[in-house]
Each structure stands twice: as C-alpha cells, then as structure tokens.
Structure 1
Amino acid sequence: MNANSAAPPARPQFVIGIDYGTLSGRAVVVRAGDGEELGAAVHEYTHGVIESVLPGSDVRLGPNWALQSPTDWLDVLRNAVPKALAVSGVDPASVIGIGTDFTACTVLPTLADGTPLCELADYAQRPHAWPKLWKHHAAQPQADIVNQVAEERGETWLARYGGRISSEWEFAKGLQLLQEDPELYARTDRWIEAADWIIWQLTGTESRNVCTAGYKGIRTEAGYPSRDYLSALDPAFADFTDKLAGPLLALGAPAGRLSPQAAAWTGLPEGIAVAAGNVDAHVTAAAADATRPGQMVAIMGTSTCHVMSSDQLAEVPGMCGVVAGGIVDGLWGYEAGQSAVGDIFGWFVDNCVPPAYVDEAGRRGIGVHDYLAQLAAEQPVGAHGLIALDWHNGNRSVLVDHNLSAVLVGQTLATRPEDGYRALIEGTAFGTRRIIEAFEDNGVPVEEFVVAGGLLKNQLLMQIYSDVIRRPISVVGSDQGPALGSAIHAAVAAGTYPDVPAAAASMGRRTEAVYRPDPARADRYDLLYAEYRELHDWFAGEAYGGSGVLHRLHALKNEVIG
C-alpha cells in the first residue's frame, strides 16, 4: 500500500437481541457501534400460558399453575430472527453476536443432554414435566417450608433475599416437583432456568448465568445452600443443587459459539458469539444506560420488576435479592417487584367495564384503556374515594406472599369504572413507593427512577407515578428495552466493548425527567398513601399486626376448587 492510499472503511457490525416474554418472543437487529435498531419481529407463542389443560391431553391443572412449552421458545429462533433480519436489510454475514433474555424464574426439568422431560412420550401428560412459568404460584406451600426451615436453622443467606424466598423461584418449584411427583424428580438430571436452557440450544454447551443463579437459585458468593439444609427440607431433596450443575458465567461473557443447528434455525452465521443468559428486567438496565449506582429501573408490563445497582451491600427486607454482579460486574445488583401491574388493568377492562363504555370508546375511535384514562385524568386526586391494594397476583415485594389477594376499599353506588381504573393505577404506584422506601430506609439510596416497558405509553399512569413517588421519571429510549439490552450484552460477548457499562454508554439511551411531580397533587397523594400503608399492613396478616382474612379466604377457595 502506498502512502496516498487509504484503508477501506470498516464494515458495520450488527448484533441480535432476543427477548422471551410471557406470551411472545421478539428479536431486534441492532448496529453494534451506536445501538441503532434496524429491524424487529415478534413471534406469538402457539401455546401461550398453559393454565388449565396440558397440550394434547385432557389432563387438568390445579389452582395457580402456569406452564409453558419449550417448542414455543425454539419457534422464536426459527421465525422472529429471520423476519427481523429481513426487515432490517442487514446481511446476516455482518452479524457478530446474539444475546437473549428470559422471564424468571421460568424453570424446567431436563435430561443430562438438555432434553425437556415434557418432550418424552412417557412424561408428556405429567404436569411437572413441563416448564413452570415465572407466575406459577402453586408452590407456595413449599416456599413456606423453605422459609420456615431457613428461619429455624438461622441460615445466613436468607437475609440476602429480604428474609423470604418466593414461591416463584427455583427451590420452591423444585421442592414441589419432588413432593408431588417424586418419580419425575428422580428422572430430572437438570433443573434449569429457561434463560440458560435457550443458551444451551444455541451453543450446544450447558452454562448458568450469575443473574438467575443469584436471584432465583439462592446462590451467594458462598455457593448454594448446604446439603444439610436441603436434607432438612426433605431427605430426598439433598441432591437438589446437583441438578443445578454447569459453569457459572458473568453477564456479558461469551457462553459459546452459535452451533450449526442454531445457525440453520436463525439464518445467522455459524460460530458467532452467544452471550450468557440473562433476565428480561436486569438486561434492560443496559438498554436505558442505567448501570450506575442509584439508578433504579422499573420494567413495567404485565408485572413490574425494579432493578438497581449499588456500591453498597445492605439487607433490605422484602427484596428479591442482592447479588454480586447481578446486573453488572463490580456492583451489587438489587431486585424487587410487583407480581401484577398491567395484568391488573387488563383484568379490569375485561371484567369490570360495562358495554356502554366499550361502545363509547369505539365511537371515539380509541381503545377502552385510553377512554378510561381520559375520564380518570379529569378527576382531582382523591375524588373517587377509593384505595386499592395491588395484590391481584399476590405480593412479590415487600411482603413476598402469593397467598395474598387484592382489596378495593371505598366503593359506593356512585362509583364509576373510571374511578376503579384510576384507583388501581394509584394502588400500583403506592406499591412502587413502598418498595423505594424499603430501599432507602435500609441505606440504599434511589437517585434516579427510570421506566421501561409497555406501560410507558399510558401518560396518565406515568404522571400518577411521578406524583405518588414525588420524583422525576426518566424513560428508556427504546420500545424494545429488553431486546436492546440483550443486543448490548451480545456486543460485549463479541468483543466490541470491554464491559457492559461501556457498551450501554454507546448503545443504550434514556430521556431524563420526562415526567415531574406536581407539588399539590403529590401532597394529596401523601394523604392517600398513609391510608394505603395502614391497609397494606392490616391485610398483610398477623405477622404485621393485622388480620389473616386474605389467607383464610385463599385457603377456603383452594379447598373448594381443589
């Protein structure tokens, strides 16, 4: 090359992010240099959430069951990824990495080679052979045992999880498998998060990621709970952590290379980098460039997950856990959450709105949610006279009790649908305020509140949240937050960036203080929040100085319906 010649311009490189949600999976094609999203596609799960009958059978499920099908997850690779590539116009040869995220704890039993037990003819009609979705709450009795024995033994790891282990997590669901289908438990070689199982399918190599292992698998720096503890739960449970085998990977680390089989599914080049598995909420912090201490990210959709990094280690009652490197390396990652948010509003519209409202929304050319929001926005704070406890799917934080149910106080014959709709929005906002207070009361300051997820589109909701929590709200700059976050981790795994914060700074984006609290409304909400707190503690049960009525009602319902 002579002195006057110039080096050819570098060819742009691209990464794929795949977000596995509750009802669908989506893929997004992202330019690694700046995070520009060039194409996206969604694949709806054929089986959706399996809640009543096992596919292809007449086997009925009990109360609070929620399962999924692994074939739906593989279909996302076969359908959404090629469609996203086609929409983007990107040459697959320019793709250098792929990253994924999943709902959690969504967990399944497999053979040693990763074959799901539900795909074996002998087990297909046994409910426990199928993956248990995050909102499978039928393991609450086992969660009670997990917590009771840990408290009696003084297990030091319990405080890391806010003092309560959830029925949604690996240990409660695994103990339910053992106690209700011991033969199937014995056949289970691996008890693995879907977040790690999908990586196994992409690479052909088994691995575990620090996020799901830490938050959902009760793994601290000292390892998993001891064999003695597991034996105290049930002597046959002593080998449980043997089923959690596999190398533990940091977030953003390469888990392996895309296998020939996965390359054929996706249309991507064989051998590109595949990032370690991750969780939909935690990966979104990178998409919002919110990986620094004190930035709380609330991923608001069907449920809400609150994640935040900190340089402070504290034990916060009712949290879902604090994990070293749980969001980014070098910081403590905290998680909290609400088990239902968008699901509550959807339930209300489906079940509590009269036909006249639906007809009027249609005449106006808008959806029922938008019509209710318009009517509710006209109300002064407190005008409806209602307080709602947002426990339609139990309480994740700070009570960690999925046997709780919702409460709506203050209804009269004058109560209108828009009143109830607004009260439910306010109730979820009060739940978030309770979580923020728990953090700050225990020495973990929240310096910025960032929102991602589908509920960003509801401006009334966002303004109510800002008024209730008395804080500005920043918003993520992408409609595909988790998928973008997964793409950011793929860029790190491919070596484009040295770490996740550096990649997030280039590829992530958010707009600061989009919503600001109105002082007058915030003052009124302080009064309502005080009432919420009183009801919160009373209906939480005897442990909080209140009534156990919700637990008694739950037990009676399960007794009647079996």
Structure 2
Amino acid sequence: METGYCTVGVDFGTLSGRAVVVRVADGTEIASATHEYRHGVLERTLPDGTPLGDGWALQAPGDWIDVLRTAVPEAVAAAGVPADRIVGIGADFTSCTILPATADGTPLADLLPGRPHAWPKLWKHHAAQRQADRITDLAAERGEKWLSRYGGRISAEWAVAKALQILEEDPALYAAADRWIEAADWIVWQLTGVETRNVATAGYKAIRQDGDYPSRDYLAALHPGFADLTGKLGPQVSALGSRAGSLTARAAAWTGLRAGTAVAVGNIDAHVTAAAADAVAPGRMVAIMGTSTCHVMPSDRLADVPGMCGVVADGIVAGLWGYEAGQSGVGDIFAWFTENCVPAADHAAAAERGLGIHEYLTERAAAQPVGGHGLIALDWNNGNRSILVDHDLSGLLIGQTLATRPEDIYRALIEATAFGARLIVETFDAAGVPVEEFIVAGGLTRNTFLMRTYADILGRPLSVIASGQGPALGSAIHAAVAAGHHPDIPTAAAAMGRRHRDAYRPDPARARAYDDLYRLYRELHDRFADGRLMHRLRDIRVAAARGAGGSGPDRVPPLDPGPIG
C-alpha cells in the first residue's frame, strides 16, 4: 500500500529509546522499534565501579547512539517505506538531561570515564539541591526578574544547579567542558554536525528569559568561576519545529536514512507530546505520566504561577506562552513499592493467576470503597517538583495498622499522585491561567483504575491521547514541519495528532468522598512543606552512609585536584 511521505520520531526516555515511522498526511504510525539502554540509569556506581553519592542519576552517551543504530533502522525496515519517502527525523529527550562536552561535541565521559561529573546528568539527578537553594536565595536577594518566571524557585534538576555542582565539586572538569549541552541538542548535533540549542530546554532548564541567560554579575556572585557559564551554553536558540540541519553521511549510515534528510531542532519529551495530542491551543494541559509526570500547557496569558517549572515564550508552540509543572515521582513510586515492599506471597499469587504484580494489586485495590484503607500519603518519594520545588523532601504514609495490606498502600500511593496533580491544576487556576481540558498521555494511561481515580480526584473529565507513542509521534510531527510538509506546528498537530475527548468522567459520589481525603492531603502537604523534619532525616541518612564508608559530604569520591590534560 502506498504510504506517502513519512517522518521518523525518536524518543529518548529514562531507560530506553524508541523510534516510530509516521505518515505525514494523517499521523498514521506505520512501524516502531525500541532499544533498551545497556547501562540504564547509573545511580550507585559508574561502569568501572566508581561509587556515586546520594541523589545521583547518570546516563551513558553511547546508549543514545545505539538507539540511532538499532531502533531507527529496525523501525524503518519494519515500515517498508523507501528511504526517499522519509523526508525528516526529529528527536526528543527527557530534560534536564545534560552533559559536558568538548568544543567538537565529544562527551567528557568518553575522555574521562572515571570522573563522575564527566557523565551526563539525567533529569532525576537530585544531588544539586544545595546549589539550587543558593541560586534561588541569591536571585531573591538581588531581585532577579526571571525568578518569578519559575514560580519563585529554581530546581535541582535544571542546568544551572547541575553545572554549579560540577564547578564546586570538580573544578578542573568544569574548566575542561567547552559545552554544557542538553542531550536533545547533543543528539541533533550528532545527526547533523551542526550545534544548535532549542528554545524549550534553554528556557525551562537553563533560565533563559526575554532573550538572555542570567547575567555574568549574578553568576559570578554565585561563584567567581561561574561567570563564564553562558559561554558553555552554546549558540543562539532555535525555534521548535525549525530545521536544525541535514542528516550527515555518518548518521545516515547509523539510521538507514538518506544523507541530506531534514533534521528538526531538538525538544523535550513532554513538550513535544502536546502536538501528538493536538493540544497546542490555550488551556489544554497535557500530563505525560510515566516514571514521573510532566504537565505542559500553552496559554495566551502570562502570569506568575507558584511552584511552576517555568513559563517560556514559544516554549511549546510559537506565539503562545508555554507553561510547565510536574511531579518528580509517579510510576517510579509504584515500581519502588512493588519491588521492595510487597511480600513474596503476593508475587506468587499474582504469578499463579498469570498477572503482573501491578495488575494484581490494581485489581484488589479497585475493589475497595474510597477511603476504605484508612490511609493518606504524600507523593514525595522522589522529592517534590511542583509546587514546592524541593527534591530533598521525602514520602510519607500515615494511617497504617496491623491490618494494612499491600493493596491498601498501593491504592493510597496512586491517590497521592492524583492529589498532587489536583494541587497543580488548582494552583494554575488560582493564578489566572485556567486549565480548560486535562489530557493524559504516557504508559500509565493503560491502567484504567488509575485513570478513573484521577478523574474522580480531579473532579473533571480526562481526555486521553490516541497514541501510545506520544513523544515519538510529537517528534515526527515536528520533523514534518522541519521538512516543509506542514507550515507550522498547529497545522501539523491538527493533521497528525489526536486525542479521545472526555474518555474518563468523574463519578459524583466518589468525587465527593475524595474531596474529604484531599483536604487531609492538603493538611499534610502544608504541614511538612518546609522540609524541616524530612531534611533532617536525610542529613542523618547521608551522615550514616559516610560513617559506614560511603562518599563524603560532597557526595563524590575524592578526585585528583590537578588540571585535566
């Protein structure tokens, strides 16, 4: 069958990368392929055994290149589309996932594999919280205008905090880094041979507002050696959906595509998903639910939203303000619980029925009435991204008795993440940036009980993206614009993206019952928001690890203080 012109979207996630071949005319997904990262997430040690400290999360650049060498040609081969009919390729990444590199793009991890700070810092690298706090405090003290664009707090997950951590803990390596570049831009550099920066990662993660990064004076006040940071951030930013360059011969050999194929400017996985859901109009909030949840929404209104991750002009689609908020642990919380807290007997019972442990616990949890477990939890097991922006916060569960069962806790954790999402939506509404439609995407949409619970707790319908490959489809949509087959992102999204409107509607009785539980969640949230108790517990834990032979207070092993040759 004639497929017409196609593009390829490549989505680089936390544990794997996936490629999808998409028809430009209508967004039909013809074929896809996935490649699991060989190194996964480096959280305890480097590949050579070098220990990492508390809150570290790194990745290996070679794993990303392997996605181009395996998943892309596999998807293209499965699609059966001639290379001359594939007109563009686009890529998105988790963010802020960022790496130090030389001026020619060589990752320092390739040159200095035994140095922890040489490796790319994944989005959930939270070891820069101290630096993030200082960045926020100094900006508030100096009255920096950009601080309000980030809800009043700068995150440990972002580029400036992570760079400052490198400078303070391994200054020689910081000096050796000619570039401090988002993985989304680095992978486009490898595809095209052209160094670019996209407006989304620059704005949301590197504090670029109104055409400028933080001033040299401000950066020098943080640390005298930090004034040159903006020089490491690279060239002027490029618009989303624009053409970064053309596929090089080397990259064509990796991917099985033609040299000269259009390559779109890089993007963030969550933000590009808005196009896949045809949600690039004001008031359409997309929650991309996976290991974490990122909430993105275009708006024609500019406002200060407490605890948001940022508002950036043209950050999702040209001509509108793009807002971002998020929860730093959702699917990761459920995975942690099932892997560490569920008895072997429940795993065996699930296996006997041919069910996965998540299916088994969901089935048992769904049979309960609202509030039947007598529990309430805070969804801070991986810190809090919005609205508190504190990654040293930790989870909390109260109401346990000797009768509490695993499915009770599992349901309470699901509810906690939904309560966190409701607080984000209410914060936007209260700030004068109304959420008119709530759209869900990501792997967790397959859990119908979870979706129903979110609708009940939010008290509003949920729309669901039609694609199971939202980021990859969104990148393919951007590639279609970069290749000139659609004039702009809204037009391409209308043709190639889609969602199921109001797929889940709240049950009035359950919604009223959840209102009472939500008030308890808010009471707990506000009582522990200052972090005093949780921070103290974390300090005790880190000190205990240090006393037992773990890494020191800077959370990195001793390094050679000399220059890098």
TM-score (norm. length: structure 1): 0.96
Q: CA deviation at 1:303?
A: 0.3
Q: Find the aligned partners of 1:247 and 1:507 in 2 and give their Cα distance.
A: 29
- The one-character-per-residue Cα deviations of 1:471-530 (angstroms, maximum 9, x if unpaired) are 000000011000000000000000011100100000001000110001110001000000
SS of equivalent residue, structure 1 residue 463: helix
Q: Which runs of 4+ in 1 moved over 3 A?
A: none
Matched with 2:529 is 540
Check if 1:230 corresponds to 2:219. Answer: yes
Check if 1:75 corresponds to 2:48. Answer: no
Matched with 2:533 is 549
Conserved 8 A contact 1:295-1:308: yes
Rate the CA distance shift 1:232–1:464 in 2: closer, same or farther, 3 A: same
2:86 maps to a residue whose letter is: V
Matched with 1:6 is none
- The one-character-per-residue Cα deviations of 1:11-33 (angstroms, maximum 9, x if unpaired) are 81010000000000000000111
Conserved 8 A contact 2:59-2:122: yes
Check if 1:304 corresponds to 2:290. Answer: no
Check if 1:432 corresponds to 2:424. Answer: no
Check if 1:502 corresponds to 2:494. Answer: no
Matched with 1:157 is 146
Match of 1:527 among 516, 523, 533: 516
Check if 1:13 corresponds to 2:5. Answer: yes
2:96 maps to a residue whose letter is: C
Conserved 8 A contact 2:21-2:31: yes
- The one-character-per-residue Cα deviations of 1:341-386 (angstroms, maximum 9, x if unpaired) are 0011111111111122111111211111111111111111011110
Of the structure 1 ranges 396-405 and 57-66, higher mean CA displacement relative to structure 2 is found in 57-66
Alignment of 1:248-259 (within 5 A): 248-259=237-248
Identical amino acids, percent of aligned pairs? 66
- The one-character-per-residue Cα deviations of 1:31-82 (angstroms, maximum 9, x if unpaired) are 1111000100000001110111111x23111111110000000000000001
- The one-character-per-residue Cα deviations of 1:227-246 (angstroms, maximum 9, x if unpaired) are 11001100110111110111
Q: Find the aligned partners of 1:114 and 1:359 in 2 and give their Cα distance.
A: 49
Aligned pair count reads 546
Q: Find the aligned partners of 1:11 and 1:128 in 2 and give their Cα distance.
A: 46
Check if 1:54 corresponds to 2:35. Answer: no
Alignment of 1:52-201 (within 5 A): 52-55=44-47, 57-120=48-111, 123-201=112-190
Matched with 1:477 is 466
Q: Find the aligned partners of 1:124 and 1:352 in 2 and give their Cα distance.
A: 35
SS of equivalent residue, structure 2 residue 502: strand
TM-score (norm. length: structure 2): 0.96
Conserved 8 A contact 1:448-1:474: yes
1:101 maps to a residue whose letter is: D
Q: Find the aligned partners of 1:464 and 1:58 in 2 and give their Cα distance.
A: 42
Match of 2:376 among 340, 363, 387: 387
Q: Find the aligned partners of 2:3 and 2:444 in 1 and give their Cα distance.
A: 37
Match of 1:561 among 545, 550, 560: 545
Conserved 8 A contact 2:39-2:63: yes
2:53 maps to a residue whose letter is: G
Conserved 8 A contact 1:206-1:247: no
Check if 1:37 corresponds to 2:29. Answer: yes
- The one-character-per-residue Cα deviations of 1:168-192 (angstroms, maximum 9, x if unpaired) are 0000000001000000111110000
Q: CA deviation at 1:291?
A: 0.5
Matched with 2:562 is none
Unaligned runs of 5+ in 1: 1-8, 542-546
Conserved 8 A contact 2:3-2:81: no
Q: Find the aligned partners of 1:28 and 1:311 in 2 and give their Cα distance.
A: 32
2:470 maps to a residue whose letter is: G
Q: Find the aligned partners of 1:395 and 1:111 in 2 and give their Cα distance.
A: 33
SS of equivalent residue, structure 2 residue 418: helix
Conserved 8 A contact 2:278-2:498: yes
Alignment of 1:364-443 (within 5 A): 364-443=353-432
Q: Find the aligned partners of 2:71 and 2:366 in 1 and give their Cα distance.
A: 38
Check if 1:332 corresponds to 2:321. Answer: yes
SS of equivalent residue, structure 2 residue 74: helix
Conserved 8 A contact 2:16-2:34: yes
SS of equivalent residue, structure 2 residue 32: strand
Q: Find the aligned partners of 2:484 and 2:61 in 1 and give their Cα distance.
A: 30
Q: Find the aligned partners of 2:175 and 2:331 in 1 and give their Cα distance.
A: 38
SS of equivalent residue, structure 2 residue 72: helix
Q: CA deviation at 1:156?
A: 0.9
Alignment of 1:202-281 (within 5 A): 202-281=191-270
Match of 1:514 among 483, 503, 516: 503
Matched with 1:285 is 274
Q: Find the aligned partners of 2:25 and 2:402 in 1 and give their Cα distance.
A: 59
Q: CA deviation at 1:10?
A: 9.5
2:110 maps to a residue whose letter is: E
Unaligned runs of 5+ in 2: 547-565
Conserved 8 A contact 2:3-2:23: no
Conserved 8 A contact 1:310-1:331: yes
Of the structure 1 ranges 190-199 and 222-231, higher mean CA displacement relative to structure 2 is found in 222-231
Q: Find the aligned partners of 2:171 and 2:364 in 1 and give their Cα distance.
A: 54
Matched with 2:482 is 493
1:313 maps to a residue whose letter is: L
Q: Find the aligned partners of 1:488 and 1:91 in 2 and give their Cα distance.
A: 19
